[in-house]
Amino acid sequence: MQNKSFEKEELMMNFDQIYTFQLGTTIHHGYNCVARTGAEAKRLGVQRVLIVSDKGVSGAGLIEPVVDSLKNMNIPFAVFDDVEVDPGTGTVDKGLKLLSDEKCNG
């Protein structure tokens, strides 16, 4: 087997391109692809989204691009940010209750 040597530039991520992988589930990967969240939710027929996070991520504003994308597509949402490190079934139950109470389907 022949080893190929890579130049440094070949190992760096290309931030000018968005890659899409489809393996039963579609994965969008690339710089600012989170801006597609609302459009993708609409394409899938999602009527209300549950955003799941922890307090640190939501407190740092990292869910805001998702929120903005959903708002731009007029998709209502609820936020469950009570996820802790290594969450147990109690946390899952709380999330499921909010999902049901808020009538989220995505």
> Looking at residues 15-33, what average pLDDT do you find?
82
pTM of the model: 0.76
pLDDT at position 105: 97
Residue 51 lies in a domain: yes
Confidence category of residue 1, pLDDT binned at 50, 70, 90: very low
CA-to-CA distance for 78 and 104, rounded, in angstroms?
Answer: 8
What is the tally of structural domains in the chain? 1
Residue 27 lies in a domain: yes
Q: What share of the chain is helix, strand, coil (3-state, %, to 5)?
A: 40, 15, 45
CA-to-CA distance for 51 and 77, rounded, in angstroms?
Answer: 7
Residue 3 lies in a domain: no
* Residues 34-43 pLDDT 10s: 999 999 999 9
CB-based contact 58:81 (threshold 8 Å): yes
Residue 56 lies in a domain: yes
Going 23 to 78 to 32 to 91, the CA torsion angle's sign is negative
The domain of 39 spans: 8-101
Residue 92 lies in a domain: yes
CATH of the domain at 61: 3.40.50.1970
Confidence category of residue 18, pLDDT binned at 50, 70, 90: confident
